[in-house]
Chain A
Amino acid sequence: MYLKVGHLRQIVPSALTFGFELVAQGTPVEGAELELDQIPAVGKCRACGVESQLPGFPLQCRECGSFDVDIVKGEELYVESLEMEE
């Protein structure tokens, strides 16, 4: 299972993987693997309009230093695809 996880979600990859393995046990998908693709946060500055990566909090525009940024990427949390054997 391929999962997209933004950096701004409060997801702990090791805990999620551990939980996934546990719930899969004893079901037809026992042994299934969870592939997490982490998406770095990107913000668009409301002051200067530049988009930049936000490596951590506080979320701050790299160009002008403003804290007033709209989140463009980093809040994702979805199953992108499933790979199965037929």
Chain B
Amino acid sequence: MHRTAVKQIVMEGVLDANDALAQANRERFDGAGNYVINMMSSPGAGKTALLERTLERMRGKLRLGILEGDVQTTLDADRLARFHVPLVQVNTDPGFGGECHLDANMVRSGLPELPLSEIDVLVIENVGNLVCPAEFKVGEDARVMVYSVTEGEEKPLKYPLMFRSADLVLVNKVDLLEHLDFDLEQFLGNLDAVNPGVERILTSARTGQGVDEWCSWLERHKV
């Protein structure tokens, strides 16, 4: 049998399926009047602790909702449950061995459990990871990175794409600065090298430093 090779132009984005779902999520959020934050960090940078402080501070002022993403367990959701805000936990575990990031479809799967019309700001707490979450849009308005000073000054240079994609960086655990060799100026210089002039707030979930400023940022940005 005679065979000929035929080349067909496709021009299809590898992440088109995700991006289309992210856009659908976004339209749903816009329709409900939600301002949506994709919160990203390494494991243990203090996302959940900062959210606890935020929920305390904003009680009665801003209607927050939380979508928690983790590979396994409901530990983070359990910590936040006492604030009685709309909250849903999405585990990435049913995926291929437990995925290291949230994608638009996982976020969509959690939405039916959230009363979106009663939420001003929805925080999507991504899986702790400085690489993959940067590649997957989930329908957010802004990306907020939590970075803790125990992680070293050089990480913006090692994980530039995530730092570059952030709209705001919360530099957390600053109460520990006096005990560390961490050079804050050098870190901020590295941050500006990959994302010039990106907004940043120094925070400590432990002492509450910077939490007011972060909460004002949220109030300014809500729809």
Interface residues of A (CB under 8 A from B): 3, 8-10, 57-60, 67-68, 77-86
Interface residues of B (CB under 8 A from A): 3-15, 131-132, 134-135, 157, 160-161, 164, 192-194, 196-197
Is A57 touching B6 in the complex (CB atoms < 8 A)?
no
Contacts of A85 in B (CB 8 A): 3-6
Contacts of B197 in A (CB 8 A): 68
Secondary structure dominating the interface of B: mixed
Residue of B nearest to A1 (CB): B10
A71 CA / B24 CA spacing, docked (Å): 26
Is A79 touching B161 in the complex (CB atoms < 8 A)?
no
A82 CA / B8 CA spacing, docked (Å): 5
CB within 8 Å for A10 and B131 given contacts A79-B14, A80-B10, A82-B10: yes
Is B135 touching A9 in the complex (CB atoms < 8 A)?
yes
Q: Can you list the 8 inter-chain pairs with the closest CB atoms, starting with the nearest?
A: A58-B193, A57-B160, A85-B3, A78-B13, A83-B7, A79-B10, A68-B196, A77-B14
Contacts of B196 in A (CB 8 A): 67-68
Is A81 touching B10 in the complex (CB atoms < 8 A)?
yes
Is B135 touching A10 in the complex (CB atoms < 8 A)?
yes
Residue of B nearest to A8 (CB): B161
Distance in angstroms from B20 CB to nearest chain A CB is 14
Contacts of B3 in A (CB 8 A): 85-86
Is B10 touching A10 in the complex (CB atoms < 8 A)?
no
CB within 8 Å for A84 and B6 given contacts A8-B161, A10-B135, A78-B14: yes
Is A79 touching B12 in the complex (CB atoms < 8 A)?
yes
A59 CA / B160 CA spacing, docked (Å): 9
Identify which of B8, B15, B132 contacts A81 (C-beta below 8 A).
B8
Beyond known contacts A83-B8, A85-B5: 15 more, CB 8 A cutoff = A8-B161, A10-B131, A57-B157, A58-B157, A59-B194, A60-B193, A67-B192, A67-B194, A68-B197, A77-B13, A78-B12, A79-B13, A79-B14, A80-B10, A86-B6
A3 CA / B12 CA spacing, docked (Å): 9
Contacts of A82 in B (CB 8 A): 7-8, 10
A3 CA / B15 CA spacing, docked (Å): 12
Distance in angstroms from A62 CB to nearest chain B CB is 15
Residue of A nearest to B157 (CB): A57
Contacts of A58 in B (CB 8 A): 157, 160, 193-194
Distance in angstroms from A61 CB to nearest chain B CB is 11
A75 CA / B11 CA spacing, docked (Å): 14
CB within 8 Å for A86 and B4 given contacts A78-B11, A80-B11: yes
